[in-house]
Structure 1
Amino acid sequence: MSLNFPIESAVNEMPQDGRDMLSSTLEHMQVRDSLKMYNNLVERCFRECSEDMRSKALSSKEEQCVVKCCEKFMHVTGRVGMRFSEFFSQMEAAAQQHMAEMLKQQEQQSKS
């Protein structure tokens, strides 16, 4: 997907070392956010499913709870991702329409 926002042209005009640094920073942020999400999942499911700490192994009830908790979390995360994608697509379409309208107005003004 191509972005038609001013940031894309700004990134394209950056020197290569600046783009490399930006890319590295974005990758670092993605890894950090993935680890945060994973840690939140583990913490949430542990709190929700752990009944006692008498054994290292999970009881079958705890194990089923963890499976359900993880499935639910992944389902919700997927839905949120889809909604963000839809929202971003709508924003991109609106930005393109706005740019087209501005260009049309400029053309009309230049003809006058």
Structure 2
Amino acid sequence: MDEQTKSIRDFVIMYNKISEHCFRRCVTSFNDRELSADEVTCVERCAAKEILLNNRFIKVFLSVRETMKPM
């Protein structure tokens, strides 16, 4: 698998995990076809927090990796 394909696959996996986590956390009723305003707000905030967390994690990982000595 080439690097671009792996990157796309990793992105899709991350997107699916965030979507599932926020859906389970925020969607509480299946009585309507549309999400309620509260559910929409919750999903948007949840996804934003997850994306920020992931970006911070990547930055820390890259900075730690740069300081490590090759074996």
How far apart are the structure 2 equivalents of 1:76 and 1:67?
A: 14
Q: TM-score, normalised by structure 1?
A: 0.59
List, as ranges, runs of 4+ consecutive aligned residues in structure 1 with deviation greater than 2 Å.
Answer: none
2:3 is the counterpart of 1:30: no
Partner of 1:8: none
Deviation at 1:75, TM superposition (A): 1.0
Structure 2: distance between partners of 1:37 and 1:56 = 26
Aligned residues: 71
**RMSD across aligned positions (CA):** 1.5
Letter in structure 2 aligned against 1:67: E
Show the counterpart of 1:57: 34
Q: Give 5+ residue unaligned stretches, structure 2.
A: none
State the percentage of identical aligned residues. 28
Q: Which amino acid letter does the alignment assign opposite residue 38 of structure 2?
A: K
- TM-score (normalised: structure 2): 0.89
Corresponding residue for 1:74?
51
Instruction: Report SS of the residue matched to 1:52.
Output: coil
**1:88 Cα deviation (Å)?**
1.4
Larger Rg: 1
- Name 1:43's counterpart in structure 2: 20
Alpha-carbon distance in 1 for matches of 2:8, 2:48? 21
Q: Matches of 2:4 and 2:55 in 1, distance apart?
A: 20
Q: CA deviation at 1:47?
A: 0.2
SS at match of 2:57: helix
Structure 1 residues without counterparts, runs of 5 or longer: 1-23, 99-112
Distance across 1 between alignment mates of 2:66 and 2:9: 25
